[in-house]
Structure formats: structure tokens, C-alpha cells
Copies of this chain bind each other. A is one copy, B any other.
Amino acid sequence: MRQERIAAAQELMQANDIDALLILTHDDYIYFFDEDRFQPRAIIPQKGPPVVICSRAEEREIRESLGAQEVRLFATVGQQMHEVVSIMQGLQSMLGRPPTIGVQFWFETPAVLLQLFQQANPQAKVVDSAPVMDTLRMVKSPEELALMQEAARIAERGMEAAVQAVKPGVTENEVAAEAVYAMRKAGASGTAVPIFVNSGVRSLWLHGTATAKTIEQGDFVVITLVPVFEGYCVDLTRMAVAGQPTDDQRRLFDTYVAAQRAALEAVRPGVPVSELDRAAEAVVKDAGFGEHYVKGMSHGIGLRFEETPAPTIQPKHASVELQEGMTIAVGHPILAVPGIGGVRLEDTGSVTATGWQSITEYPKELFIRN
């Protein structure tokens, strides 16, 4: 358990008038407790020890794992919410007023759980926990960077396996199988999002999947890997082509290489996130592909695949200024030109005092696979 992180969160809760954090997601749970559960459930009050809600049979193991902290128990799923209600009531009688509860508002917090919580605790005021959690998590410690470097080594092994597997006649799923296997064998506990192997017309997808589609001669193949190591992930995207690329495909690829480079050169402390987009978009416009540019050249990354600043999810994040120690993925949006295909290169790195330090390392070439 991370006492110093919990203490720092409690200070920020005080500054932001949040009485307790309700933790329902893996990222925040791992951040504070240094371990993971299938259903992470905890409450961190502004004062006093955190409460972890677990099943009765897990009690001994979790007490040993966390140390001598208070651990609330539930024996059925129904009782889990009873525990939360009794904690909330205790909090309210201690405060002498309804508590303000910080909850993560991102894609992993289920609407149904939040609805259940609000029905069971109608007096509680639910607010976004971002002022606490983003402040804590945006800048990474050296220890966190080391975990992301390990995730990057795993991503490189996965990319090597994926690139080797691409050839005409192979399915996207078969490429995904090789990459996932290589990453698990290299130490990944899984991937933060399912691996993307987008070939041919599917290379135009804004996002991706891997499907039973066969990779055909001439297909562009977008490969995105987001392996997880001890909770931390990196984002790595590279491109292959089955057979020989056309001149248009080559030109589109070269444009993205230059656009990503321009964005990376713009990285330094104090620069707003929107500046990376401005730099990349200028290159894409010069190459004549401006009408196909989709904004959102970068996003924060760490314990979550996309974390603050993530302007494609929260437009206001475009004005967030980069800070030394932030980790970001650069090269996020697909440059999709119907008739040619879609192209993307993505790397994860950290903001240094003077610029960009890449964490992921893999050659930025268009891999030609026959």
C-alpha cells in the first residue's frame, strides 16, 4: 500500500472540498494499493485510513498484502453496497453534513455502479475526482517510468512478432495471436485495450480491432499494441504493407512520419497540448492531406490507456500545458484517406526539461511483408 500517495491524495481532497474518494477502477486502485482486484472497490476518506471492500475469503490474503489497515468485508455482492452505505452514513454523521464524494469520470466507471451508489446514498454529492487524481498522476515518478520502460520492451517484442506474422493470406486475428503471445511471454499481464490489426479498408478506422479478415496483397496494416506491465501501459503503433506499397501509400506514410516528428519536436514543458496538433497538422496540410487530418495528436498515458491530458476525450485538455515528467503518447489520430488507406505511427515517451524522451523504441519504417 502506498501511504505517501494516500496522504498526498488526502491533502488534495482537503484543498478541493472532497470528503472521500470512491474507487471503482483498476488504475486508481493500483495507484494507491499497489495490487489489483477483478472488482476494485475502496473508499479513501479525507482523514483516516482507507477502506478496501473485498470478499470474506480474500480477507487474510489482502490483509497481508496491504499491511494492518482497516479492511471491510462483504460476503455477497448485495452486501458490498451495504458496506458502502454504512461507510457513507458514518462519514455523514462525523461531518454533520452530507459528504462530497469524488469518483473517476472516465470510460471505466460503469454508469450502473454510479447509479446504484447514488440510489443507495442519495444524500452524497458526487463530483469528478480529476482535481485530485490528475494532479497526482499526470507527472510520473522514476519508479513509474521504469514500469513503463518495461512495458515498452514488451511492446517491442510484440511488434516484432506482429510484423513477422503479416503477409498476404494471413488473417488479422492470426497476427494478433502472435503479438499477444509474444507480449504475455515477455511479461505482460494483458493489454489495456484489445490489439488493433487493421488491414486494407479497415486501416481507415478511427480506432481498431483484429478480425477474421484476411490480409490481402497491397493492404496497409495498422498495428497498435498497448501491453500492460504491473498496471502501466505504453502505446506503440507501426505500419506494414502486404506486398509492395503504391507511391500514394508511401507518400502518405512519409507524411505521417514527418507529422509525428513535428509534433515530437514541439514537446517541451509549458507548451499547450494543442501545439502538438498545430505542428502536425501543418505538415499534413503541406502534403495535401489537410482535409483528412483528425485532431488529437497526443494523449496522456500510464495506468490508463488514455489519461489526462486527452483532448480527443475532453476538448478542454487541449489547453493543458505539458510538464516535465508527464508521459504522453504522440501519433494518436489515424490519417485516413479513402482510396489510399489509413496510416498512423504512435510512440510513448516522457516530457523532459528540454523536450521529448521516447520510451518506446521501434524502427519507423513501412514494413514490406510478402
Contacts and interface: CB of A to CB of B under 8 A. Distances in A.
A114 to B, nearest CB: 4
A97 to B, nearest CB: 24
A286 to B, nearest CB: 20
Interface string A314-355: 010000000000000000001011100010000000000000
Interface stretch (A184-192, A233-241, A249-257, A267-275): A184-192
B312 A77 contact: yes
Contact of A36 (B190, B204, B209): B209
A356 to B, nearest CB: 24
A95 interface: no
B107 A61 contact: no
Contacts of A66: none
Given A185-B174, A209-B38, A209-B189, A58 B204 contact: yes
Interface string A175-190: 0110011001101111
A94 interface: no
Interface string A74-117: 01111000000000000000000000000101111111111100
Nearest to A203: B57
Contact of A111 (B110, B187, B342): B110
A263 interface: no
Interface string A264-306: 0000000000000000000000000000101110000000000
Contacts of A111: 103, 105, 109-111, 113-114
A115 B176 CA distance: 34
B112 A201 contact: no
A57 B289 CA distance: 13
Nearest to A105: B112
Contacts of A75: 294
Contacts of A177: 181, 184-185
A313 interface: yes
B184 A78 contact: no
Contact of A295 (B39, B76, B208): B76
Contacts of A294: 55, 75-76
A202 B173 CA distance: 31
Nearest to A205: B58
Contact of A173 (B114, B187, B313): B187
By Cβ-Cβ distance, the 4 closest A-B pairs, closest first, are A38-B207, A57-B336, A177-B184, A55-B206
Interface of A: 36-39, 55, 57-58, 60-61, 75-78, 103, 105-115, 173-174, 176-177, 180-181, 184-185, 187-190, 194, 196, 201-202, 204-212, 292, 294-296, 312-313, 315, 334, 336-338, 342
